Amino acid sequence: MGLISNGTTIFDNGSMASGFGGNLIFISKATASASASISFTSGIDSTYKEYIFYFANIHPSNDNTQLRFQANAAGGSGFNEVITSTAFLAFVGEGGASPTLGYETGRDQAQGTGFQQITGDIGFDNDQVGAGYLHLFNPSSTTYVKHFIARASSNHPSDRANYFYSAGYFNTTSAIDQIQFQMGAGNIDSGEIILFGVN
């Protein structure tokens, strides 16, 4: 049994999980190999209210680039849905130099249709990768916009640790049923992206 607290009351998180759900259900996995993009074109439907994409060991072919994503509404094409988003970055060098936290004005969108950045800059040295997760909420709703939250850690080309936070929504009441990932420049040289539904 695990215990968690809200500051005044202690809860059994096993009981909470059984009351609220929270089991991850594996749907599919994609492995990159010099891939221009990775697309999930099935498995995102009304089965679950939340989907999570876990990405690990994302290694770019180009130096100093980022993992990004976009969506298609049902029946759509082009991965160009309208996004409004926000983005923050924290980083520190390997020697502890220049710890920084700030809003990233050039990495958000205001009713944009581009691919949304979800990692900080990743180097292409052999030991440099990015990893994190993307939550997509209630994508099959035909009433509400579709919210997302992403968190990621990455190795910057200048040998610093990046922590990138992004969140926002697809400004459409159409169902979202396809997601594509790509780098800001070049290919996804290697790495895995795994899709889960949250039961």
**Per-residue pLDDT tens over the stretch 82-98:** 999 999 999 999 999 88
- The per-residue pLDDT for 22 is 77
Confirm whether 31 is domain-assigned: yes
Confirm whether 2 is domain-assigned: no
Confirm whether 12 is domain-assigned: no
Q: Which two tokens stand for residue 184?
A: 């800001």
Q: At residue 60, does pLDDT exceed 70?
A: yes
Residues 185, 36 contacting (CB under 8 angstroms): no
Confirm whether 8 is domain-assigned: no
The CATH number assigned to the domain holding 132 equals: 2.60.120
Residues 131, 58 contacting (CB under 8 angstroms): yes
pLDDT band for 53, please (50, 70, 90 cuts): very high
Residues 136, 145 contacting (CB under 8 angstroms): no
Confirm whether 106 is domain-assigned: yes
Q: Which two tokens stand for residue 189?
A: 């040289």
Confirm whether 127 is domain-assigned: yes
- Chain-wide mean pLDDT for the chain? 92
- Alpha-carbon gap, residue 117 to 183, rounded angstroms: 9
- Alpha-carbon gap, residue 118 to 150, rounded angstroms: 6
Confirm whether 87 is domain-assigned: yes
Residue-range definition of the domain harbouring residue 124:
23-198
User: Phi first, then psi: what are they for 13, rounded to 5°?
Assistant: -70, -20
Q: Which two tokens stand for residue 66?
A: 């980022």
Confirm whether 163 is domain-assigned: yes
Residues 55, 134 contacting (CB under 8 angstroms): yes
pTM: 0.89
pLDDT band for 15, please (50, 70, 90 cuts): very low
Q: Which two tokens stand for residue 166?
A: 């992004």
- Beta-carbon count within 10 A of 60 CB: 28
Q: Indicate the number of domains in the chain.
A: 1
